[in-house]
Structure 1
Amino acid sequence: MRLKTLGLAAALALAVPAASSAEDFTVTLVAGHPPVFRWVRMMPEAFIPTVTAELAKHGHSVTFSEQYGGALAKVGDELETVEAGLAEIGSCQALFDPAKLAVQNVTYYTPFVSSDVRLVGQVIDKLHADEPAMTQAYGENGVVYIGAPITIDDYMLMTNFPVTSLADLQGRKIAAPGAAINWLSGTGAVGVAGNLTTYYNEIKTGVYDGVLVFASAALPGKLYEVAPYITRFGLGAQYAGSLCANKDWWDGLPEEARAAFIAGSKAAQEWYTTELEKAVTGALAKMGEAGATITEASDEMRMGWAKGMDNAAKKWAAELDAQGKPASHILSTYMEAMRAAGAKPLRDWDKE
């Protein structure tokens, strides 16, 4: 009888996985932008405390080394830094790393789809979960998508001259980031590549006459001082990047640790989106109080801009398809998902 009892106990012991030993994880976080930007702040504000609390439930602890503002990687170099193992987790910026995260830039080729930052973030996150074509690029570059999509609020036009019709843009130099420069096709404006770190001085010194920018960055950047005419065209909310992890490191983590980091990413996404939604309304109000002239473009102007644009999305998708990157599939899947969620694009970029 005793032998049977011992045998049963041994069998049960084999059937139940042994609890993981307590560990102290050391994690370096990297972001090229400084923590003044909300997509960096989400790490100390939400990601770190959530991961720490979740790991503590299993007896683990974690030590974070926060390397922001170019301390370890410049903007657009985060993915390479994580891939090389110099950081375990980074803010991988698809907008500034289009060669490696090509299909992730789908929203920047599809303006005038939706100004809802929460919706864009939810759809992009779901695409990463459901579409192998969406995560293919991460695997090819030795990293893993872990969430917290960085959505950018509705892009608008800020200029040093009033805009009452699209004709006012003729010959004007307008700066835009990355693929957003394509949005200026058909407007008569001259597109110039630019970014948030240089906008203020280059408008002030006459390098260009305006920028395509979002309210939550325009206020802290004080762009209303040099470009006081704000015209809201509803160019749309965009997706710029996400948190990614070094694949070898990630694969070596116990299951509960991976779950903790994913929980941290979800908390960061919610914190970021909520803070962004509040910030947009406040930013527009404060810029108006500071003397900016804020105008809502008429439906005629918005449709005129949208219809006059080249369909850069189709060209972008075809070129990537030829490289073995499934951009046409992602383009149609994204557009279908946005329409199904209630978005009303001014143009169906995937169907033309």
Structure 2
Amino acid sequence: MKRFLAFAAALTLSACGTPDPNVQVLSYASPYTATHPFSRADIIWMKWIEAKTGGRIKIHPHWGGHLLSSNENMLEIRHGVADIGMVTPMYARSAHTQRIQPSFYSGVKDIGQQIAVYRCLAEEFPAMNAELKGLRVLAVQGGNFPGILTRNKPIRSLADLQGLRLRAQADTADVLRSLGVDVVNMSMAEVYPAMAKGVIDGVVAPADALRSMHLADVGKYFSTIKIPRGAYPGRALSMQVWNRLSDADKAIFIESEKVWEDAMVASIDRALIDGFDYAKEAGLNIIPMPAADQARFDALYRDNAFRIAKYLEPFGVDGPGMANRAAQLVQNGVPAGCGDPK
């Protein structure tokens, strides 16, 4: 009901128009507050669009998750609940490739490389974009490497994971299950209350979430095990809106993709530092993972990536080929021009 009322209010605002008929107002929806690191990057992009178009296009944000759901946000944007929004294809049941492909980035060094590898894969493997039908991707999102935050039990070795109930994304789930973890797949917005109530024992998340989502308030221990992660489409525009834009405005939005991605990288990098500082002030115990356990985890992760790549074959997707190509791109670098916004 809350989301319906917000949607109705947005429609009412749209129906009322704007004081200047030459100004186009587009709605933007995010599950986060305006002060979240992701949102700070979103605001930089919004201001850039307005400045670049001379005020002809303005972005009206809706923060706090009252417009889009965590699982069906791609469908909701496609059908006009919001013109633009943060999307999470890894939670969409029908997005098989998008859910599995973040597993293929073992060895990736930083966020910039995550984004470059994703864009190149999306250019070479049509299945990745096919699952985004009805959407124009405006930014690819990478992220800091996750560790493991727990409520009551410190993780000093892989053996300590046995019996824990942890929130983790699909790319890590099978590896954790092999180590005795009961894995729960839920949106990050649900993690704080779930940990506070003891529904889950912890979460696989980067250190920036310790502050940005206040997770240090519901956890006592943070293991710095380095869990690989890939990139994914993070911001998207309805194709219905895209098709109404002039060629000149489409060119501006294409140019804005790098602006948005660069803003997110800078904001996420800053958030990582802030997260560790916040955790130390909150008295959180930061626990390193022994090198031998990290090496074992990395090997399990790589083996699992090539195993689950085969799950895509029944859907007509060359999963093993995609996994191999990702490994090549990580090791050898992304060729110049591969995956550039078009």
Q: In structure 1, how many angstroms separate the alpha carbons of the residues matched to 2:193 and 2:74?
A: 29
Q: Which runs of 5+ in 1 are unaligned?
A: 1-21, 343-352
Deviations 1:292-340 (A, max 9, x none): 2212212201122234469443443323221123433332222221111
1:185 is the counterpart of 2:177: yes
* 2:49 corresponds to which of 48, 51, 66: 51
Do 1:172 and 1:190's aligned partners in 2 also have CA atoms closer than 8 Å?
Answer: yes
Distance 1:324 1:275, change over 3 A: same
SS in 2 for 1:42: helix
Query: So what's the TM-score if we normalise by structure 2?
Result: 0.80
1:155 is the counterpart of 2:146: yes
Deviations 1:224-255 (A, max 9, x none): 34322211111024324322222233233222
1:288 is the counterpart of 2:250: no
Distance 1:226 1:61, change over 3 A: closer
Q: Which runs of 5+ in 2 are unaligned?
A: 1-20, 335-342
**Alignment partner, residue 64 of structure 1:** 59
SS in 2 for 1:79: helix
Larger radius of gyration: 1
Q: In structure 1, how many angstroms separate the alpha carbons of the residues matched to 2:204 and 2:242?
A: 37
Do 1:112 and 1:234's aligned partners in 2 also have CA atoms closer than 8 Å?
Answer: no
- Shift in Å, 1:167: 1.8
Q: In structure 2, how many angstroms separate the alpha carbons of the residues matched to 1:168 and 1:80?
A: 39
Distance 1:296 1:70, change over 3 A: same
The amino acid that maps onto 1:41 is R
* 2:313 corresponds to which of 317, 321, 324: 321
The amino acid that maps onto 1:132 is P
The amino acid that maps onto 2:140 is P
Do 1:106 and 1:330's aligned partners in 2 also have CA atoms closer than 8 Å?
Answer: no
SS in 2 for 1:219: helix
The 5 A counterparts of 1:144-293 are 144-146=136-138, 148-159=139-150, 160-293=152-285
Distance 1:87 1:209, change over 3 A: closer
Q: In structure 2, how many angstroms separate the alpha carbons of the residues matched to 1:198 and 1:136?
A: 28
Distance 1:188 1:310, change over 3 A: farther
Do 2:155 and 2:161's aligned partners in 1 also have CA atoms closer than 8 Å?
Answer: yes
Q: In structure 1, how many angstroms separate the alpha carbons of the residues matched to 2:259 and 2:270?
A: 17
Deviations 1:269-299 (A, max 9, x none): 1111011112212211321232122122122
Do 1:89 and 1:245's aligned partners in 2 also have CA atoms closer than 8 Å?
Answer: yes
- Shift in Å, 1:179: 4.2
Q: In structure 1, how many angstroms separate the alpha carbons of the residues matched to 2:94 and 2:241?
A: 24
* 2:122 corresponds to which of 120, 128, 140: 128
Deviations 1:155-190 (A, max 9, x none): 101122222222222222222234432230321222
Q: In structure 2, how many angstroms separate the alpha carbons of the residues matched to 1:182 and 1:236?
A: 13
Q: In structure 2, how many angstroms separate the alpha carbons of the residues matched to 1:115 and 1:227?
A: 27
Do 1:117 and 1:237's aligned partners in 2 also have CA atoms closer than 8 Å?
Answer: no
Distance 1:88 1:338, change over 3 A: same
Q: In structure 2, how many angstroms separate the alpha carbons of the residues matched to 1:161 and 1:212?
A: 14
Query: So what's the TM-score if we normalise by structure 1?
Result: 0.78
1:27 is the counterpart of 2:19: no
Distance 1:98 1:310, change over 3 A: farther
Do 2:118 and 2:232's aligned partners in 1 also have CA atoms closer than 8 Å?
Answer: no
Q: In structure 1, how many angstroms separate the alpha carbons of the residues matched to 2:202 and 2:106?
A: 19
- How many residues of Structure 1 are paired with residues of Structure 2 in the alignment? 313
Deviations 1:106-165 (A, max 9, x none): 453246433512221232234335553432222xx222223x212221110112222222
- Shift in Å, 1:63: 3.0
